[in-house]
Structure 1
Amino acid sequence: MESLDLLSPFLFSYKKRNFVVQEGLLPQDLDALQHIEIHPSDIFLVTYPKSGTAWMQQVLVQILDAAHPELVEDTSNRVRVPWLEGRVLDKADRQRPDPRLFHTHLSVDMLPHGVQAKRVKVVYITRNPKDVLVSLYNFAFSWTMLEPPKSFPDFFEQFLDGKVFMGSWFDHVREYYTARDQMDILFMSYEEMLKDLRAEVVKLCAFLGKNLTEEAIDQVVEMSTFHNMKKNPKANFKDLLEKQRYRSETMRKGMAGDWKNFFTVAQNERFDQVFEEKMSDWPMAFIWDSKQ
C-alpha cells in the first residue's frame, strides 16, 4: 500500500486507492459494510469530507423530526445520522425505527449493495473543491486521528494528487455522477444552500417525499443556520471536543470563498489547470467557477 506522509500511524490506506479510514476499522470490516441490511426507507447522505456534511445532517434531522415527530430523539446529530464507516465513534448498526439516516464518505463501489439494489434515497453534496481543500487542511489540525499537515503547500499538492483522507475529490464526485442512473440520487451543493437555504430545503423535502407545512419548513431553515448550529450542542460536535476526539472546534466559518485567504496566485493557477485536466468533460453544471 502506498505510504502517505500526511497521515498518522493511526490510519491506513485501503484497496490501493488512497482511501483512508480510522483506526479500528479493518479491511474486512469495510467489506462487511457492503452486506449490511438496507431498508427501503433508509436515507443516505454522501459527501466527500468537508463538503457540508454536518450542515446537511442538521437539515435532514430537522426535516424528519417535522415529518415524524413521534421519532424525535434527544441526542446529537452524530447519533441520529451515524457515520457508516465510523465503527469506533458511531453505532451505525444500532436498532433504530424507520426511516433511518446514515452518512458516509465511501466511494460508490464500497457502499452497501442494498443502496443501489433497493434504490434508497441518496443525497450527495458537492462543494467548491478549493474550499474543500482549505477546510480539510484546517480539519487535519483538529481531528486527533489525523496528523497535522507539515505545511499548506505540501497539503495543497497532496490534495491535487488524491493523497489525503478519502482520496481524490475529483474521483469521488465523478464516480457518483457516473452512477446516477443506478441510484435514486439528488445532487445538491453547498453554495446553493448558502444562496437560498429555504429553496434547497423545499427541493430536498420533495425528493424525500416529506410534505411539510410552510411553518415547518421555516423552522427547518431557522434551526439549520450556521449561527444556530454553532451554539447547538446537538449539531456542533462539542461532545467530541469534550471527549478529546477533536483538538479544537470544527465549525469554523460556514462560508464560500475562504480559499482566497490561503491560495497564492500560482496555486490558484495550478489548481485551475488540474481542474480543467480532470473535469474538462464534466457534464454537470456547478454554480461556482473554478477560476472565481
Structure 2
Amino acid sequence: MFRAIIHMIRHDGDPACMAFDGKVLPDVDTYLEFTDRPDAPIGTRTVDKVKQQPRPRFYATHLGYEAVPKSILEKAKIIYVAGNPKDVIVSTYFFFSSLKPFAFSGTLEDIAMSYINDKAPYTPFHKHVASFWKHRDRDNILFLTYEDTLMNCRATIDHVAKFLGKNLTDEQLDNIVSLCSFDSMRKNKKVNKTTHAQLDHSASPFIRSGTYGNWKKHFTIELNEAVDRWIKKEEHKVASDLEGFRFRCE
C-alpha cells in the first residue's frame, strides 16, 4: 500500500503512473538488510541498485532504529509503519505460505510462536516498534500505523505528502486515494505482484485483506490468549519507550 502511495506522491498524483504497461511498480524492494553473494557481479549488488536509483532515492528496510546506518538516520526522511502484532502474525503466515523459495508448510500457530519466542525475522517485535516510536518527534521521522492509515486514508496521504515536501491538490489526493485503495490495487498488475514468479498466489494473494482486525477470522481462543499474554509481557518490558502508544487490534 505505502509503496503505491509514495510512488503516486512522487508523480504528483498522476493516474498514468499506475497504469500497467507490462512493467510493475519500479522496484523499491531494495531492502538495506539484504546481502549479496561475495561473488555477485558489480552492478547487481544491493548497494549498486540503490546507487542506480534516480534521486530522490526510495528504498525499504525492516531494520529497527539501532540497526539502520547512522548516515540514513541523520540524512534521510524515514517513514515507519507499525501494525498491530496479531494482524502482523496472520500476514506473515500467509506471506510465508505464498513465498515459493521458503517452501513453508507450518501453521499459523508456528508463526505466532516464532514471534512469541523472538525467532521471527526482526524480532523482538515490541522492541522494534519502540525503537522508532521513541524517536517519533525527530523532524526526519514520520511514525504511522497501518490501522490509522486505513481509518484516515486521505489525511494520512496528505500527511505523508507534506512530509516529503509535496503539497497536493484535492484532485491529486482523490486520485491517490482511489488508485491506492485495496480494491483497485488487487486488480492492478502494476502492484499486485501476480507476475512475480516467486509468489504462489493460489496459496495467498499478495494483496490479501486490506483491513485490520483480520486476525479474528484466524485465531483460535487458545492462540489469542497466548498472544495476549505475550503482548502484555512485552509491552511491560518496553513500557518507557512505548509510553503513549497502544496497538489497535480491534
Task: Flag the 1:94–1:144 CA change in 2: closer, same or farther, 3 A.
Answer: farther
**d(CA) in 2 for partners of 1:199 and 1:181?**
19
Q: TM-score, length-normalised on structure 1?
A: 0.70
Q: Judge conservation of contact 2:31–2:59 (CA < 8 Å) in 1.
A: yes
Partner residue in 2 for 1:33 = none
Gaps of 5+ in 1: 1-54
Deviations 1:150-201 (A, max 9, x none): 2222222112112123333222112222344667211111111111210111
**Equivalence map 1:263-282=2 (5 Å):** 263-280=219-236, 281=239, 282=242
Distance (whole Å) between structure 2 residues aligned to residue 67 and residue 223 of structure 1:
9
Structure 1 residue 247 corresponds to structure 2 residue 233? no
Map residues 26-105 of structure 1 onto 2, 5 A cutoff.
55-66=1-12, 75-80=23-28, 82-86=30-34, 92-105=49-62
In structure 2, give the amino acid aligned to 1:246: L
C-alpha contact (below 8 Å) 2:29/2:59 kept by paired residues:
yes
Change (3 A) 1:86 1:76: farther
Q: Contact 2:84–2:247 (CA<8 Å) still a contact in 1?
A: no
Report what 2:172 is aligned to.
216
1:284 aligns with 2:240: no
2:134 to 170, 178, 181: 178
Structure 1 counterpart SS, 2:78 = strand
1:125 match: secondary structure: strand
Q: In percent, how many aligned pairs have the same letter?
A: 29
Q: CA 1:81/1:219 → structure 2, altered by over 3 Å: closer, same or farther?
A: farther
**In 1, distance between residues paired with 2:103 and 2:120?**
11
Which of residues 84, 99, 113 is equivalent to 2:70? 113
Distance in 2 between residues matched to 1:103 and 1:153, nearest whole Å? 28
CA contact (8 A) 1:67 1:211 kept: no
Match of 1:197 among 144, 153, 158: 153
| Gaps in structure 2 of 5+ consecutive residues | 37-43
Structure showing greater relative contact order (alpha-carbon pairs closer than 8 Å, 6 or more residues apart)? 2
**Matches of 1:239 and 1:86, distance apart in 2:** 22
| Counterpart position of 2:115 | 159
* Structure 2 contact 149–156 (Cα < 8 Å) conserved: yes
Q: CA RMSD in A?
A: 2.7
Contact 1:142/1:246 (<8 A) preserved: yes
Say which is worse superposed, 95-104 or 78-87, in terms of deviation.
Answer: 78-87
Would you say the 8 A contact 1:57–1:81 is kept in 2? no
CA distance 1:122–1:279, shift in 2 (3 Å): same
Per the normalisation by structure 2, the TM-score is: 0.81
Task: Classify 1:183/1:107 alpha carbon distance in 2 versus 1 (closer, same or farther; 3 Å).
Answer: farther
The answer to whether the 8 Å contact 2:81/2:145 transfers is: yes
- Structure 1 residues 226 and 106: CA distance shift in structure 2, 3 A: same
Which structure's residues are more often strand, by fraction?
Answer: 1
The CA deviation string for residues 216-253 of structure 1, in whole angstroms up to 9 with x for no partner, is: 1111111100011111112112231xx2x112231112
Letter in 1 for 2:244: M
Name the stretch that deviates more: 212-221 or 262-271: 262-271
**1:212 to partner: Cα distance:** 1.1
What is the CA-CA distance between 1:87 and the residue it aligns to? 5.8
Report the counterpart of residue 44 of structure 1 in structure 2. Answer: none
Q: Secondary structure at the match of 2:11?
A: helix
1:206 match: 162
Report the count of equivalent residues.
Answer: 231
8 Å contact kept, 2:98–2:199: yes
1:86 Cα offset (Å): 4.3
Name the CA distance, whole Å, in 2 between partners of 1:147 and 1:176.
Answer: 32
- Over 3 Å counting, the alpha-carbon distance change for 1:287 and 1:111 in structure 2 is closer
